[in-house]
Structure 1
Amino acid sequence: MTEARGGSYSLKALKPFNAGEIKVLLLENINQSAVDILTKQGYQVEHYKEALPESVLIEKIRDVQAIGIRSKTKLTSRVLSEARKLLAIGCFCIGTNQVDLETAASRGIVVFNSPFSNSRSVAELIIAEIVILSRKLGDRNMEMHKGIWNKVSSNCREIRGKTLGIVGYGHIGSQLSVLAEAMGMKVCFHDILSLMPLGTARQVDSLHELLASADFITIHVPETPETKTMMGDKEFECMKKGSYFINASRGSVVQIPALVRALKRGQLAGAALDVYPKEPAKNGETFTSDLGDWVDELRECENVLMTPHIGGSTEEAQKMIGIEVGNAVVRYINYGTSVGAVNLPEVDLRAIEATQKIARLLFVHHNVPGVLKEINEILAAHNVEKQYSDSHGEIAYLMADIADVDEGDIRNIYELVSACKENISTRIVY
């Protein structure tokens, strides 16, 4: 394997792909499933339980082809500018806010994450919270820890026959729908897309219609300009009196002071929050107003569950995330497959068979007119078995399998393609 980045790096000695030369840095105690996948490939894997200070991270990142992180490591433009050999970033979590995606793309560095591997874990947490809220188990538990015996049934109810309203019917929302129906609940949902309901769930046309008809409302939407602060005073006022509100999606979608007001005036009978607009950077930190100016008022409200962003924090979810992101990194490094990338076009070609004498060109470039013509002119004298190109904003990515080429041909193709004015990153795997 050989590579070039915008002509800023000298041409290495051209040689076949050697997995043993690939160095991977894994931080923040990434699950062993990922370590096993990467080690099995023959990569050199360096694994740390914690995030690294920026100065140490910069020193380490200069010499690795891949890095795996969770949410605490910040891959800023400053850090990425030192990443001389980096090909792939694996975010072993849902979000990618901790990575400067634009800078990564401009350097031809692909970023992968795992947006759906924890879907079941989150869905199960919501079911648990529905039961806990309807029986006021959180308050009873705290009372018992204080030595108070308070056996009551007033306003404690079964969830059977109650209506669950789901905002966002994606991977988590649809799984939750099935679990809720199995518990005897009725399910309705609202989504910006027209979707096929599972079971007997039904889609409603508007958010306000959903809020007015459900006993429990749970939010499962991404953070977008449309979803930020989507739940405020007006929306909570639309909810049924005595209903419950749950958010395990993004902290920014809820105006928490408005939620506090709805709880205090009795509009809502309880709430559960697993995410917050601002969250502590590490475990063990005490929080007061750092979480928000409203935190003390929220703590004083009855029947409110507060958890520290643990929706996907199960052994099973972390294992699946390790498998999904680990395999995505391997496919990109070994074969150039970018399916699942969040900052580069998703491009793939069928696998190269071991018996085939094929060289695979992997070319990340600026998305401007004329580049494909230039590349195809370079490849015109060769047998291109398959080729695929796609673009993502200002970045484009081309894969081409070239048959019956020797090392002289490969070197010539590499030098000509990497000299292209719009080149960001050129690799040839063979």
Structure 2
Amino acid sequence: MTPPKDIDSRVTELARSVSNSLNLSTSPTLNFHSPPTSFKQRGSFTDGGSGSTPGLSSISWKQLKPFDSKDIKVLLLENVNQTGVDILKAKGYQVEALKSSLPEDQLIERIKDVQVIGIRSKTKLTERVLSHAKNLIVIGCFCIGTNQVDLQYAAQQGIAVFNSPFSNSRSVAELVIAEIIALARQLTDRSMELHSGTWNKVSKGCWEIRGKTLGIVGYGHIGSQLSVLAESMGMSVIYYDVINLMGLGTARQVASLDELLDQADFVTLHVPETQDTKNLIGKTQLEKMKDGSYLLNNARGSVVDIPALIEAMRSGKIAGAALDVYPNEPAGNGDYFNNDLNTWARDLRSLKNLILTPHIGGSTEEAQSAIGVEVSEALVRYVNEGASLGAVNMPEVTLRSLTLEEPDSLRVIYIHKNVPGVLRQVNAVLAHHNVEKQNTDSRGEVAYLMADISDVREEEIKDLWQSLEELSSRIRTRVLY
């Protein structure tokens, strides 16, 4: 095989209904969202303190809560980090945290009574499951991906979905650096050989990574961090993305995937799972890679045609590969990575200089703690304040908080079908009160309206809620006061 070449140096029914609302977070990208770090958490069901916002320290914020709602019940699956559990418990919610995912029938039974559910990558919230979740108002994905949730159906039911797209970026980037070095030096092969008693001191086919070219497919938060780390180790970095992005350091963007494959000694994938990225690297693309190059996939299992990769490695075209994700992954730990799960598993495991890891890209203490904080705080803001900034399946809407100087004010959240005439109908319901603030936005078939109204007596709240519930456009109504 031809060795990699050095090159020159050159990112109650009432309780259910009022307990449905929006979410929060801003983002520099179109597809992913994350709460701004400057956003200060305000309010809860149980605390009586007031929060603060930079420059507004003299203002006492009103603590909002759902009108006439039951205690908020939260179900957390797949061993969500304790930081997230603690945040939700501190808000007075009833939190049940399980270490594993649940089979579909058990999940359907457990999801019926909860307002909030938190999952990671193994739990599948399909239309069938969500159709039984009559009280559910919000889903927290304590991970990057949201493909395990039927986002469209959730939106149609007025259920917001949040994730944590950035918190584990550094952990994934560091893993890729480790994999690049391990592949270049055939470390895993030497380690397994010595574990079995074989001393095999060789240098043939082992390389320094200095001076080699790293090709990054997808220059988002992970790809851009990886770019900096790789360049600091003496690698030359090129990247391909579907949009034009400024490279960090001396990294340069290439015009096509084919151009990247032709030049890179190491190709690493950092793209979402979409129809466009399915089998992004298949037989044709592998043939276009340099002889003796390496492929790394820490993105999604569907991005690489694994049978084609097996063939390319057997032929010597590809000198090594690292896979952290797979088309089908077990729902729990155990002896499950076999041909029953993926028909090619045995052939894959037989290859040399192949690093196989069980989807651990973001599995560090630091990343999981940060994810726990980010997603839990987003869930609290959604439940308590109704701000939908950062929801991956809902229009993004927020209003500044109410203050204690507005004692007879409340917040109305109306998630509705995106059809003509709704704003006129809603404002007719609110006409007997003063609308202090109002914001609305739409996304596809779903629209989200938030309004703060004043001069509302407590005995009027239920009638106001009922009037909104009776509108034909209604998906979900919430009243926070």
- 1:386-418 CA-partner distances (Å, limit 9, x unpaired): 211111221111111112322244334322212
**Letter matched to residue 236 of structure 2:** K
User: What SS does the corresponding residue of 2:294 show, helix, strand or coil?
Assistant: strand
Say which structure, 1 or 2, has more relative contact order (CA 8 Å, 6+ apart).
2
361-370 or 103-112: which moved more? 103-112
Residue 28 to residue 219, structure 1, CA distance change in 2 (3 Å): same
- The one-letter amino acid of 1:377's match is A
Deviates more, 1:68-77 or 1:361-370: 68-77
Which residue in 1 is equivalent to 2:125?
Answer: 75
The 5-angstrom pairing of residues 111-150 of structure 1 reads: 111-150=161-200
Q: Give the corresponding residue for 1:410.
A: 461
Partner SS state of residue 244, structure 1: strand
Match of 1:156 in 2: 206
**Partner SS state of residue 188, structure 1:** strand
Bigger shift: 169-178 or 344-353?
344-353
2: CA distance, partners of 1:20 / 1:428: 13
Aligned residues: 422
CA distance in 1, matches of 2:122, 2:238: 36
Give, in whole Å, the separation in 2 of the partners of 1:16 and 1:232: 51
1:228-257 deviations in whole A, cap 9, x for unaligned?
111112211111111111111011111112
Aligned residue number for residue 354 of structure 1? 404
| 2:347 matched residue in structure 1 | 297
- Contact 2:15/2:68, CA 8 A, preserved across alignment: no
**270-279 or 107-116, which moves further after superposition?**
107-116
Question: 1:42, 1:18 → 2: CA distance?
Answer: 16
Q: For 1:391, what is the secondary structure of its paired residue?
A: strand
| CA distance in structure 2 between the partners assigned to 1:74 and 1:293 by the alignment | 22
Secondary structure in structure 1 of the residue aligned to 2:88? helix
**1:12 aligns to what?**
none
2:437 is matched with: 386
Deviation track 1:8-46 (CA, whole Å, cap 9, x = no partner) reads xxxxxxx96589821212222211111111111111212
Once the 2 structures are TM-superposed, how far is the Cα of residue 84 of structure 1 from its aligned partner? 2.8
256, 263, 271: which is aligned to 1:206? 256
C-alpha spacing 1:222/1:55, structure 2 compared with 1 (3 Å): closer
* Contact 2:15–2:69 under 8 Å retained in 1: no
Question: In the alignment, which residue of structure 2 is the partner of 1:425?
Answer: 476
User: How is 1:51-66 mapped onto 2 (pairs within 5 angstroms)?
Assistant: 51-66=101-116
Take 1:18 and 1:27, find their aligned partners in 2: how far apart are those partners?
28
Mark the CA change 1:65 to 1:114 in structure 2 (over 3 Å): closer, same or farther: same
Question: Partner of 1:178: helix, strand, or coil?
Answer: helix
Matched residue SS, 2:335: coil
TM-score where L is the length of structure 1: 0.93
| Equivalent of 2:295 in 233, 245, 251 | 245
C-alpha separation between the residues in 1 aligned to 2:231 and 2:403? 47
Matches of 2:119 and 2:461 in 1, distance apart? 34
User: Residues 101 and 332 of structure 2 are in contact (CA less than 8 Å); yes or no, is this contact kept in structure 1?
Assistant: no
Q: Are the equivalent residues in 2 in contact too, given 1:123–1:176 (CA < 8 A)?
A: yes
Question: How far is 1:53 from its partner?
Answer: 4.3
CA contact (8 A) 1:278 1:290 kept: no
Cα-to-partner distance string for 1:173-200 (whole Å, 9 max, x where unaligned): 0110011111111111000000011111
Task: Give the deviation of 1:99 after TM superposition.
Answer: 2.5
| d(CA) in 1 for partners of 2:100, 2:360 | 18
Verify the 8 A CA contact 2:101 2:331 in the aligned structure 1: no
Residues 19 and 198 (structure 1), Cα distance of their counterparts in 2 relative to 1, 3 Å cut: farther
Partner of 2:332: 282
CA distance in 1, matches of 2:235, 2:249: 11
- Aligned-partner SS, 1:293: coil
**Which region of structure 1 is more displaced relative to structure 2, 370-379 or 331-340?**
370-379
| TM-score normalized with structure 2 length | 0.83
Q: Does 1:21 align with 2:71?
A: yes
Letter in 1 for 2:314: K
Q: Which SS does the other structure have where 1:60 is aligned? A: helix
Deviation by residue 1:72-125 (Cα, 9 ceiling, x = unmatched): 333333332332322111121222233333332222111212222211111111
Alignment of 1:91-240 (within 5 A): 91-240=141-290
Unaligned runs of 5+ in 1: 7-14
State how far apart, in whole Å, the 2-side matches of 1:318 and 1:309 are: 14
Q: Does 1:270 align with 2:320?
A: yes
Distance in 2 (CA, whole Å) between partners of 1:361 and 1:118 is 35
Matches of 1:203 and 1:58, distance apart in 2: 46
Given that residues 414 and 449 in structure 2 are in contact (C-alpha distance below 8 angstroms), is that contact kept between their aligned partners in structure 1? yes
**1:343 paired to 2:413:** no
Q: What CA deviation, in whole Å up to 9, does each residue of 1:309-328 have, x standing for no partner?
A: 11111111111111111011
Q: Contact (CA 8 Å) 1:73, 1:98: kept in 2 or not? A: yes
2:90 partner amino acid: K
Identity of aligned residues (%): 62
In the aligned structure 2, how far is the partner of 1:200 from the partner of 1:303?
Answer: 30
Contact map agreement 2:15 2:67 (CA 8 A) in 1: no
Q: Give the counterpart letter for 1:229 in structure 2.
A: N
CA contact (8 A) 1:66 1:89 kept: yes
Q: Distance in 2 between matches of 1:82 and 1:303?
A: 47
- Please give the alpha-carbon distance, in whole angstroms, between the structure 2 residues aligned to 1:170 and 1:412: 48
